[in-house]
Amino acid sequence: MVASSRVLLVLDLALLAAVSCLAGTAAALSTEYYNKRCPSLQPTVRSAVARAVAADPNAGAAVLRLFFHDCFVNGCDASVLLDDGTAPGEKGAGPNANSLRGYEVIDAAKSAVEAACPGAVSCADVLAIAARDAVSLLGGPSWNVRMGRRDARSASRDAANANLPGPGSGLPALVAAFKAKGLSARDMTALSGVHTVGRARCAEFRGRVNANAGEAINATFAAGLRGACPAAGGADGALAPLDPVTPDAFDNGYFRALVERRGLLHSDQELFNGGSQDALVRKYASNGAAFFSDFAKAMVRMGNLAPAPGTPLEVRINCRRPN
């Protein structure tokens, strides 16, 4: 009897392990992970991020996008931070080239952490903490970060090109891209609320603001952007805020803009264009606390995305290259 229940327990554990692998989540992450290994970790990262945001309000947005582009490509393993090595890295992938930035903010935080706790803390955990701090420094919610991630030894440009949704995506494609990561449509809409800060380049919204028909866009808003982003081309790098209401504050201004058809990217407006997310967008637009609460939970879920079992991992000393 004792022996057979032990066998059952082993089977249960094996099943549990199999299920958590399928979901791509790391059961091992913990808010306590560095309590003994590096007690000064969180204040150290926070001061580095605070310095960067004080010098450039856009640094917070840069760090937030880095975290998304890390976690969606082979899990949150800091692969996005690797410079090109023998294989092409993720920095040069379509969604990242000439666009993703903020690498030096993570370098500075990691150097400060290395000085305090050499070899102890992964780049992936530094990025997860920095993303949380960026949100709270810009006026958004805070949450307890779960830690214990390790860093990849290689990156995949192909995986970055395949896994990151593009700005021309319709709602079904957006829902599918998040579902492929075990995240719900609600998580997707809440996480998109990060577009309450940051900028996009004309190249990404030219089609939308110059469309003659078939694009759900506020006519006054579109007219205001055509000067800087003309249909004729050029000005690819001209920037516009993703949230025209409060461009640098982490609040629910993005959702208020969507309700007025003032989403900057086609993919933004897809969240409020007669589909399944309309009611949730209206809710977030009128209730900032509801957005903050769902957002914090969704960031924890996105932060749980783990590299595939068997991926070689380590704690990198320099976030730009394997040890």
Q: How far is the CB of 148 from ligand HEM (least distance, A)?
A: 21
Q: Which is nearer to ligand HEM, 64 or 80 (CB)?
A: 64
Q: Does 192 bind ligand HEM (CB under 6 A)?
A: yes
CB atoms within 10 A of CB 92: 16
Q: Does 261 bind ligand NAG (CB under 6 A)?
A: yes
Q: Does 220 bind ligand NAG (CB under 6 A)?
A: yes
Q: How far is the CB of 170 from ligand NAG (least distance, A)?
A: 20
Q: How far is the CB of 101 from ligand HEM (least distance, A)?
A: 6
Contacts 24+ apart (CB under 8 A), 13-17: none
- For ligand NAG, the nearest residue by Cβ is 218
260 touches, from ligand HEM, ligand NAG, none (C-beta below 5 to 8 Å by class): ligand NAG
Q: Is 198 left (phi over 0), alpha (psi -120 to 50) or beta?
A: left
Strand 199-201 and strand 151-152: the pairing is unpaired
165 touches, from ligand NAG, ligand HEM, none (C-beta below 5 to 8 Å by class): ligand HEM
Contact positions with ligand HEM (CB under 6 A) in 41-70: 58, 61-62, 64-65, 68
DSSP string, 31-86: TTTTTTT-TTHHHHHHHHHHHHHHH-THHHHHHHHHHHHHHTTTSSSSGGGPPP-S
| Per-residue mark of binding to ligand NAG, 129-168 (x: CB under 6 A) | ----------------------------------------
Neighbouring residues of 260: CB distance < 8 A, sequence distance ≥ 6: 218, 221
Length of the chain: 323
CB atoms within 10 A of CB 1: 5
Whether residue 266 lies in the annotated active site:
no
Short-list 68, 81, 74, 73, CA closest to 298:
68
The answer to whether 268 touches 240, Cβ cutoff 8 Å, is no
Of 46, 65, 69, 320, the active-site residue reads: 69
The answer to whether 258 touches 210, Cβ cutoff 8 Å, is no
Choice from 20, 99, 154, 218 touching ligand NAG (CB under 6 A)? 218
Q: How far is the CB of 314 from ligand HEM (least distance, A)?
A: 26
Q: Does 260 bind ligand NAG (CB under 6 A)?
A: yes
Interface with ligand NAG by CB under 6 A: which residues?
218, 220-221, 260-262
Residues with catalytic annotation? Answer: 69
User: Where does this chain bind ligand HEM (CB under 6 A)?
Assistant: 58, 61-62, 64-65, 68, 99, 101, 165-167, 169, 174, 188, 191-192, 194-195, 197-201, 204, 265, 267
